[in-house]
Structure 1
Amino acid sequence: MKTFYFTATGNSLAVAKEIGGELYSIPQVVKHSQTKFSADKIGLVFPCYYMGTPQIVRNFIEQVELESDYIFAVMTYGNFSASGVHHFQRLAAKEGLQLDYTNELLMIDNYLPLYDITAELAKEDSKNIKENLTNLVNDIKQERKSLLKQKWWERLITFFSYKFYQFKRGAADKKFSVTEDCTSCKVCEQVCPVDNITVKEKPDYHHHCEECMACINLCPENAIKHSKEQGDKRFKNKNVKLKEIIQSNR
Structure 2
Amino acid sequence: MTPEEKFQEDLKNLEVRLQAATQGFKPLDGCVTSESVASCEHHGHYRQWVRRFDAIERTTRTDCPQCLQGEIARLKQREAERKARVQVGLIADLKYHSGVPKRFEKASFENYEQTEANAKAKRFCQAYANKWQERKAKGGGLILCGKPGTGKNHLACAIINHVIEQYQDEALLTTALRIARKVKSSWNKNAEESEEQVMRTYIVPNLLVIDEIGVQFGSEAEKIILFEIINERYEAMKPTILISNLSQQELGAYVGERIVDRMREGGGAMIAFDWESYRK
Work out whether the TM-score is over 0.5: no
Q: Provide the TM-score with structure 2 as the length reference.
A: 0.25
Higher helix share: 2
**Structure number, greater radius of gyration:** 2
Give the TM-score normalised by structure 1: 0.27
